[in-house]
């Protein structure tokens, strides 16, 4: 291997590899000095290594063993070669500390250890305007999430200083696996172009076919490509923005109500889609017989059955069947109680 290529690889190696390389060279020099003094000065191994180290760091107190011409020549050569290696190792260590490489490496290692503990988290691909807002909402809800962002400058936002940000290409399988896609609960891809979001969706679905994927659609008409790639939900900011602007004028009271529901900091109210298990005591009971308001405190908003449209505001004679999906609303404690009841717990 050419010397220039070898030096380039050493300079661009990871921080701990560079430090390990420098310390290995220093250890080799100390061993060579110990062996030399053992053979030339007729010293025992302890005294030989004592001479090697004190000579190398130029703090020798006195010479030991037989001081002859051979020992003097060896000491001169050892000092010249050894001081060069020691200076290289010391400068390498100083550079790692001063330039922040070592600190960054240790921080990354801590992040990897922390990421290994994540389970049922959400992966957010892209820290642009939509990705930023999605990550912020997850943070406010107390949900674990991991951000994948290729631009290192975007990852320095103080709002996400305590969160895990992986700098890399979200279309890379290795980066998604590093983000814990095999243990994730869902994935949000909010990259700049629709082509990138399609590729992220395809890659994610290859690794986890069952993973729910929410994809951003920057242009109208690209929903088909994202759907074909496997996206479970597609969000078009222009479509949603235009729809909301019109609804604020046409149905302002309804929009204000949904704002109250979605803003957890104003009112402890949430909505959940809950499936009725065959083991649940609710299966076969009517809404009136179940008395869910008394037992759980949750309000049944609608029932969806066998792929049919959502039946809004069901009446008391409506019967729960196994497999029904119930849209319920209420405080988190009430919804948790309803989930356990519907699961047969």
Question: What's the average model confidence in pLDDT over 236-244?
Answer: 80
Judged against a pLDDT cut of 70, whether residue 301 lies above it is answered with yes
**Chain region(s) in the chain for CATH 1.10.287.70:** 3-102
Task: For residues 6 and 3, give the distance between their C-alpha atoms in angstroms, rounded to a whole number.
Answer: 5
Task: For residues 11 and 238, give the distance between their C-alpha atoms in angstroms, rounded to a whole number.
Answer: 48
Lowest model confidence (mean pLDDT) among 69-73, 86-90, 229-233, 339-343: 86-90
Question: What's the average model confidence in pLDDT over 22-29?
Answer: 81
Residue carrying the six token digits 């298990």: 277
Judged against a pLDDT cut of 80, whether residue 68 lies above it is answered with no
What is the pLDDT, as a whole number, of residue 265?
53
What is the pLDDT, as a whole number, of residue 262?
61
Buried b (16+ CB within 10 A) or exposed e, 90-129: eebeeebeeeebbeebeeeeeeeeebeebeebbbbbbbee
pLDDT tens digits for range 178-228:
899 999 999 999 998 889 999 999 999 999 999 999 999 877 777 888 888
**Chain region(s) in the chain for CATH 3.30.70.1450:** 268-343
CA atoms lying within 13 Å on the CB side of residue 318: 18
CATH 3.30.43.10 fits 268-343, yes or no: no
CB 1 within 8 A of CB 67: no
Of 299, 290, 345, 344, which Cα lies nearest the Cα of 326?
A: 299
**Chain region(s) in the chain for CATH 3.40.50.720:** 118-235
Report the percentage of the chain scoring pLDDT > 90: 14
pLDDT tens digits for range 113-147:
888 888 889 999 998 888 898 998 888 888 899 99
What is the pLDDT, as a whole number, of residue 160?
80
What is the pLDDT, as a whole number, of residue 7?
46
In Å, how far are 40, 59, 66 from 70, measured between CA atoms? 7, 21, 10
Mean pLDDT score of the chain: 81
CB 55 within 8 A of CB 78: yes
Which fold is adopted by the domain 118-235?
Rossmann fold (3.40.50)
Lowest model confidence (mean pLDDT) among 37-41, 175-179, 318-322, 335-339: 37-41
What is the pLDDT, as a whole number, of residue 260?
64
Q: Indicate the pLDDT class of residue 97, thresholds 50, 70 and 90.
A: low
What is the pLDDT, as a whole number, of residue 236?
84
Question: What's the average model confidence in pLDDT over 81-109?
Answer: 69
Tell me which of 1.10.10.10, 2.40.10.10, 1.10.287.70, 1.25.40.20 is the CATH number of domain 3-102.
1.10.287.70
Judged against a pLDDT cut of 60, whether residue 267 lies above it is answered with no
Residue 342 phi/psi, 5-degree rounding, is: -70, -25
Judged against a pLDDT cut of 80, whether residue 109 lies above it is answered with no
pTM: 0.58
25-32: list long-range contacts, CB under 8 Å, 24+ apart: 25/85, 25/88, 25/89, 26/85, 26/86, 26/89, 29/56, 29/78, 29/81, 29/82, 29/85, 29/86, 30/56, 32/78
What is the pLDDT, as a whole number, of residue 5?
44
Full strand arrangement of the beta sheet holding 164-167: 164-167, 145-149, 122-125, 186-189, 213-216, 233-235
Judged against a pLDDT cut of 70, whether residue 90 lies above it is answered with yes
Task: For residues 76 and 150, give the distance between their C-alpha atoms in angstroms, rounded to a whole number.
Answer: 52
Judged against a pLDDT cut of 70, whether residue 155 lies above it is answered with no
Q: Give CA 290 to chain center in angstroms.
A: 43
What is the pLDDT, as a whole number, of residue 197?
92
What is the pLDDT, as a whole number, of residue 105?
62
Task: For residues 246 and 242, give the distance between their C-alpha atoms in angstroms, rounded to a whole number.
Answer: 6
Angle, helices 45-56 vs 69-98, to 10°: value is: 60
In Å, how far are 102, 104, 148, 156, 163 from 8, measured between CA atoms? 19, 21, 29, 29, 34
């Amino acid at each position: 291997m050419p010397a220039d290529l070898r030096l380039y690889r050493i300079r661009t190696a990871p921080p701990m590899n560079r430090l390990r390389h420098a310390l290995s060279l220093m250890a080799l020099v100390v061993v060579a000095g110990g062996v030399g003094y053992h053979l030339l000065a007729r010293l025992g191994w302890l005294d030989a290594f004592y001479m090697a180290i004190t000579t190398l760091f130029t703090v020798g107190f006195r010479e030991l063993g037989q001081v002859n011409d051979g020992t003097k020549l060896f000491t001169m050569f050892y000092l010249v070669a050894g001081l060069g290696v020691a200076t290289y190792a010391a400068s390498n260590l100083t550079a790692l500390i001063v330039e922040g490489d070592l600190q960054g490496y240790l921080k990354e290692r801590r992040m990897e250890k922390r990421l290994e503990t994540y389970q049922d988290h959400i992966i957010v691909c892209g820290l642009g305007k939509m990705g930023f807002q999605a990550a912020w909402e997850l943070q406010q809800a107390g949900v674990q999430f991991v951000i994948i962002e290729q631009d290192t400058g975007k990852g320095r936002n103080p709002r996400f200083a305590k969160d895990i940000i992986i700098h890399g290409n979200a279309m890379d399988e290795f980066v998604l696996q590093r983000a814990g896609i095999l243990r994730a609960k869902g994935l949000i891809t909010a990259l700049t172009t629709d082509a990138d979001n399609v590729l992220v969706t395809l890659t994610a679905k290859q690794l986890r076919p069952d993973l729910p994927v929410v994809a951003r659609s920057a242009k109208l008409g690209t929903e088909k490509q994202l759907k074909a790639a496997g996206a479970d939900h597609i969000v078009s900011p222009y479509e949603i923005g235009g729809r909301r602007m019109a609804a604020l004028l046409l149905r302002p009271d309804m929009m204000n109500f949904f704002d109250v529901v979605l803003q957890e900091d104003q009112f402890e109210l949430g909505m959940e889609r809950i499936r009725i298990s065959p083991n649940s005591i609710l299966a076969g009971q009517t809404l009136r017989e179940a008395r869910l308001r008394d037992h759980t405190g949750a309000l049944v908003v609608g029932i969806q059955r066998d792929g049919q449209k959502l039946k809004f505001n069901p009446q008391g004679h409506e019967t729960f069947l196994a497999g029904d999906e119930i849209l319920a609303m209420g405080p988190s404690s009430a919804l948790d109680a309803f989930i356990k009841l519907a699961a047969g717990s």
